Amino acid sequence: MKACFLVTLLAFCVSLPLTATATEPSVVLTGGGGVLVPGAGSRQPCEGELLFHGDGGEGGYENGYAWQYGGILGPYYGAFADLFSELEEICAVFFDFTRAQGYERPDSIDVYLWADADGLPGNVLMTLPDVYVAQVPVWPNFARFFVELPENVTLPVWIGYWGDWPGQRASCFIGADLDGQVNPGTPMTNIAPGLGYPTGWQSVDVVWGADRRTVALGLGAVVDSGPVPVDRSTWGEVKSLYR
């Protein structure tokens, strides 16, 4: 068993009856503005600035996305990822997670960094398996979880994760930014076969974009070099948003 918490059957998918969400492979938390909770999550493990797409959670998250049951298959069907193409070295990555009310089970995620292959995640550059994510808050609250890399990695890379709960309900929902107007990302998900969607790496909008486009996912990196063409802020500046 692994680590991370999360999930319920309530408020999963507004487009489906609640009785159907128990076995749906793709689920969404929606219906309110998701906010980062001060003091929740993990500490930033290395010095540097935060690199992200969209508004990086500063404007809140409109949705939370997850795969479960048949949507999670090895090695990483059901993964989420976004491309960071700046020429920077990163020392850590982070993920903004929430969970559904009433369902809290220990689990873990596998963190991945992929090389870019013509606009899609390609060869795996680094895998950090069984990363424990504790005390994930209930929707609409989010916590930011940092994962330190064993060695610095130079961008561009795809940053993402795979939820390690195959055959079970989703534990972690990643933040989905629908209205960040600056620096949109390339939010992708790796769709398992047999679900009625195109298989392999696809835009998250193939699954969750019937009403609105997803600008970015709640994930990013910690870098320690000069300016890059995306929104970034120091961790101290992020914390000041909650004062």
pTM of the model: 0.83
Reported as a pLDDT band with limits 50, 70 and 90, residue 22 is low
Q: Can you give the pLDDT at residue 59?
A: 87
Count: domains in the chain: 1
Tell me how many degrees the CA angle 167-27-35 measures, rounded to the nearest 5.
120
Least confident range from 52-56, 82-86, 118-122, 226-230: namely: 226-230
- Name the pLDDT band for 36 (thresholds 50, 70, 90): very high
Query: What is the rounded distance in angstroms from the CA atom of residue 66 to the CA atom of residue 143?
Result: 16
Do 28 and 16 contact (CB within 8 A), yes or no?
Answer: no
Query: Does residue 28 fall inside a structural domain?
Result: yes
In a domain, 8, yes or no: no
Rounded distance between C-alpha atoms, residue 163 and residue 95, angstroms: 12
pLDDT at 106 over 90: no
| Single-letter amino acid code for the residue at 205 | D
Question: Which of 87, 77, 96 lies closest to 216, judged by CA?
Answer: 96
| Domain membership flag for residue 179 | yes
Is 63 within the bounds of a domain?
A: yes
Residue 198, preceding bond cis, omega within 30 degrees?
no
Q: Contact at 8 Å (CB) between 53 and 94? A: no
3-class secondary-structure state, position 165: coil
In-domain check, residue 101: yes
Q: Which residue range(s) make up the domain with 123? A: 18-236
Does residue 176 contact residue 56 with C-beta atoms inside 8 Å?
no
